Amino acid sequence: MPEQISILALVLGILVATVRAATPLLLAGFGELVTERAGVLNLGVEGMMLVGAACGFIGAVTTGSVLVGFALAVLAGLVMALIFGVLTLYLMANQVATGLALTIFGIGLSALLGVNYLGTPIPGLATRIFPHLADAPPVAQQLMLLDPVVWIAFATPVLVSLFLYRTRPGLVLRSIGESHEVAHALGYAVLRIRLAAVLFGGAMSGLAGASLSLAYTPMWTENMTAGRGWIALALVVFSTWKPLWLFVGALLFGFVTIAQFQAEALGLDVSPNLLAMLPYLATIVVLVLISRDATRLKLSAPAALGKPFHATT
């Protein structure tokens, strides 16, 4: 009997840990998916996530309300994305360089904002919403440990899929990512729709960052995203821009991320540094596998991705 429970507890524990690790990847990944389906490549996800994480944390600590923290994080993501949008869509700046600038700026800005909040912990979300957590049975405890932002992260794939594939605005957005000239010739407002997509991506990245600093490890440290923004970008490519595969990919990478802790739990004596390499190596492998078939990649990628649009009429 105890044997069974402990296996169940182990599996459940791994599942919950995977789900929680996948949350920021899902949020940021789907935000970037919408942006890229509209034809815009925003490499600044890491920077937007960090600024979201910092602002979210600061908001929560200052006002005592985690909800305010999340709202502030979303706002911060929107502002960062707005900078990117104006530069690339209206000032015709190179999308790759601007995205990199956004990341560098975001890393610095988040560090600057968060400097007074280093190492200040706050209780996680769950305990605030469910104050009697300690009294609940173990299985329920695990489920309730899933912060609301996790539920949002898992609703996102469904909502984004519905939007992209079942609504007319979603269809228009996809067509702009495919060929902005034809879409423009048909009379659609290419730049406005692209800006909306970019802003959505920023909001989601901000939310993803806050999910790290307010839910996953409720504290702020410099550079706490540790490359998750870049992994989210790689996941979008890995998923060949399809929501279902992005969902699968995020879960897979969530698992790989926590693998190092599982290895410790299982008593394997592997250096934590080597295990920490796994997500990044896996990303490379996945990228190579996807890219090998050049025609398949060309068909999957939004054809107008990264190309600036300047209306000549």
Burial annotation 81-119 (CB, 10 A radius, 16+ → b, else e): bebbbebbbeeebebeebbebbbebbbebbbebbeebee
Q: Which of 7, 9, 11, 96 binds another protein (CB under 8 A)?
A: 96
Q: Nearest distance from residue 306's CB to another protein, in Å?
A: 10
Please count the other Cβ atoms lying within 10 Å of the Cβ belonging to residue 127.
16
309 torsion bin: left (phi>0), alpha (psi -120 to 50), beta (else): beta
Q: What's the token pair of residue 117?
A: 């909040």
Q: Which of 135, 168, 266, 269 binds another protein (CB under 8 A)?
A: 168
Q: Nearest distance from residue 223's CB to another protein, in Å?
A: 10
DSSP 8-class letter at 38: T
Q: Nearest distance from residue 301's CB to another protein, in Å?
A: 9
Q: Which of 112, 143, 162, 244 binds another protein (CB under 8 A)?
A: 112
Placement of tokens 């000239």 in the chain: 181
Q: Which of 108, 121, 138, 169 binds another protein (CB under 8 A)?
A: 108
Q: Does 179 bind another protein (CB under 8 A)?
A: yes
Please count the other Cβ atoms lying within 10 Å of the Cβ belonging to residue 198.
26
Hey, is 263 helix, strand or coil? helix
- CB of 131 or CB of 264, closer to another protein: 264
Tell me which residues in 215-274 interact with another protein (CB under 8 A): 222, 226-227, 230, 233-234, 237, 271, 273-274
Hey, is 118 helix, strand or coil? strand
Q: What's the token pair of residue 208?
A: 């993803």
What residues make contact with another protein under the rule CB under 8 A? 43, 47, 83, 87, 90-94, 96-98, 100-102, 104-112, 115, 168, 171-172, 174-175, 178-179, 181-183, 185-188, 222, 226-227, 230, 233-234, 237, 271, 273-274, 276-277, 280-281, 283-284, 287-288, 291-292, 294, 297, 299-300, 302-303, 310, 312
